[in-house]
Amino acid sequence: MRARLLANFNIALEAILSNVIRSMLTGLGIIFGVAAVIAMLAIGNGAQQEILEQIKLVGVNNIVITPIVEQVEEEVSEESLVLREPQFSPGLTLLDSRSMVDIIPGIDRVSPEIIMETFLIKDGIRRSAKLVGVDSTYFDMTSFQFAAGRNFSQGQLERGDPVCIIGRGIQTRFFSQENPIGKRIKCGQHWLKIIGVLEQRLISDQSMKNLGIRDYNMDVYTPLNTMLIRYKNRSRLTSAIIQRANSNNRNQEQENTAPINYHQLDRLVIQVTDTDQLAATAEIMARMLERRHYGVVDYEITIPELLLKQQQRTKRIFNIVLGAIAAISLLVGGIGIMNIMLASVMERIREIGLRLAIGAEKKDIVLQFLCEAMLISVSGGFAGVFLGWILAIIVAEVADIPTTVSIFSIMLSFGVAAGVGLIFGITPARRAAEQDPIASLRYE
C-alpha cells in the first residue's frame, strides 16, 4: 500500500512540475486566502493582547473617579452679561473614599491618588517628573511588580515618612550604575529615601491616549500622608482662597485668573468585588457624590474595564467579518482547483486510459489526482502562511497596529487549505477513475 501511494504521489508530482505555471496560477486562490486568514487573525490576536494589557494597566473591576474643576458659567441676555454664582462643593476628598467603603457594599479596595508636577535632582542632574501620593493598595490594584525593594509599610503611611518608590525609568536616568535602594533623591523641595523600584511596564502611545494614563516608568510614588503633609493639601483653607472668595471684581477675576483646583484628590480608584456589579456600584457612587458635593457634578466616573470589553467585542465582530471574507477566498481557491483539475482530466484522457490498460486500478487514478490537488493546495498553504506573516509585519509597521501570528492560526489556515484541496479534488479524481480504458485510448 505504501509503495502504491508513493508511486501515485510521484506521478502527481511529475504532472505538476511539467506545467509549473498553470499549477502556480491554480494555487493563487489558496495562497491569497491563507495569507488573508493569517493576517486577519494576527490583527485580531494583536488587538486582543493589547486590550488585555490595557485592562492590566487600569486594573480589574475598577471604577475610576476623576475631579473636574468647575468653571464659572456665563448667561448672556440681550441687556447685559450676568454671571451665575457658582455653588459650593468641597471637591473630591479622602472623606468621599472613606464614606464609600463604609456605606456601599461590595467594595474591595480603594486607592486615592494625588498627582503633582515637580522636578528631581541628583548629582547635578535635574529632570521634570510626576510625584504621586498613594497608599500600599495602589500597587496591588494596578498589578505592579517590584524589581527591587518593597512596598510602603503601615507606619510609613500613617506617619507620612519622606520615602518613595521610583519607576524603572527614574532608576535608569539617575541610578544607572548603582543600586538606588536606600539612596536619597531630591523631589521638589524635599529629599526622599528610595525604598523600592518597580518593574518596567511597556505602555504604547495609543494606550496612554485611549486610557488617559501616563508613563508609569517615570513616576515617583510617595505615601499619601507624605504628600498631604509635606507637599500640598488642597482641602486646607489658605489666605489665597479667602482673598479669592472675597474678591468683588468677579469679571476681572474670570478673565485673568485660571480656575482653582479645589479637589484634594486627583484620582480615586475603587475596586469592586463582583464584575456584574460594576455599573450598579458606579450609579450608587454618582448619587452619593452628588449629595456630598451639594448637587455640583464636579467629578467624572468611568469604568475602564467595561469600556475595554465593549471595544473587545466590537473588534471581535470586526475580525469575524474579516475572517469570513478571507475564508471566501479559500472557497474560491478550492473551486479554482476543482475546475483546473476537471480540465486536466479532459486533457489527459489518453494517459488515464494507458495507465488503466497496463494494470492500474481505479483507486490508483483517484489517488493520483487527489495527490495533485493536495500538492497544489498544500504548497499554496505554505506560500500563503509566509505571505500572511509578511503582511502582518507590514501592517504592524505601517499602520502601527499590534499583530500577533500564533501557531493556532498557522495550523488552522494550513489545515483548511489541505482540506480544501482534498474536498475539491475528489470530484475530478472520481471523474478520472470512471473513464473507460478502451475509449480513453481511442480519444483524440
Mean pLDDT of 203-223: 70
Please state, in angstroms and rounded to a whole number, the distance separating the CA atoms of residues 107 and 235: 25
Kindly give the pairing relationship between strand 219-223 and strand 125-134.
parallel
pLDDT of residue 71 exceeding 60: no
Residue-wise pLDDT tens digits, 406-441: 787 788 777 777 777 777 777 766 766 676 665 555
pLDDT of residue 245 exceeding 80: no
Q: How high is the pLDDT of residue 305? A: 65
Tell me how far apart the 2 most distant CA atoms of the chain are, in Å. 114
Neighbours of 355 (CB within 10 A): 21
Run of H or E residues at 384: helix 362-398
pLDDT of residue 73 exceeding 60: no
- Mapping DSSP to helix (H, G, I), strand (E, B) and coil, where does residue 133 land? strand
208, 238, 257, 262 from 241: Cα distances, Å: 34, 5, 13, 9
Q: How high is the pLDDT of residue 72? A: 46
Averaged pLDDT of the chain: 77
Please state, in angstroms and rounded to a whole number, the distance separating the CA atoms of residues 56 and 47: 14
Residue of higher predicted confidence among 250 and 292: 292
Our CA angle for 201, 142, 89, nearest 5°, is 125
Residue-wise pLDDT tens digits, 20-60: 777 777 777 778 878 887 887 787 777 666 666 666 566 66
Strand partners of residue 234: none
- Mapping DSSP to helix (H, G, I), strand (E, B) and coil, where does residue 287 land? helix
Residue-wise pLDDT tens digits, 274-306: 877 888 888 899 999 989 988 888 888 887 766
Please state, in angstroms and rounded to a whole number, the distance separating the CA atoms of residues 99 and 118: 31
Residue-wise pLDDT tens digits, 117-163: 999 998 888 888 899 999 988 888 887 889 999 999 999 999 999 99
Please state, in angstroms and rounded to a whole number, the distance separating the CA atoms of residues 349 and 336: 20
Please tell me the pTM assigned to this model.
0.60
